[in-house]
Amino acid sequence: MDKNNTLKNMIASNFVEFTFESDPAKIGETLSIVRRLNNFTLTDIQNKTGISYQHLSKYEKNTTKINIHNLIKILDALGYKLTLQATKKNNETK
């Protein structure tokens, strides 16, 4: 199943998962897909968050790192809340 279909299924179940272990820059790509699948424009998100169109575009293109404060704002504008979960790595030694 490709990433778009996976995200469509998560959105349908009101759950979107971001995993940062392999490539933290993927968050922008995921935000872009979630935004488009929910039929929001960058202007819509700008109006809801106060974050400039230019910054939102840079986040989605992964040319600027997003801070946690703006991530929460964007997720809220998309109708999601941020829930954090830490998972212990397998086979790690102290």
What are the domain boundaries of the chain? 3-78
Distance from C-alpha of 33 to C-alpha of 29, rounded to nearest angstrom: 6
Per-residue pLDDT, 72: 92
Q: Report pTM.
A: 0.73
Per-residue pLDDT, 33: 87
What distance lies between CA 51 and its chain's CA centroid?
A: 15
Residues 6+ apart with CB under 8 A from 35: 41, 42, 45, 60, 78
Per-residue pLDDT, 78: 93
Is-contact 78 35, C-beta < 8 A?
A: yes
Per-residue pLDDT, 14: 66
Per-residue pLDDT, 75: 93
Q: Which CATH code fits 3-78?
A: 1.10.260.40
10-residue stretch averages of pLDDT, the chain, 94 residues long: 60 62 73 91 98 96 90 93 76 59
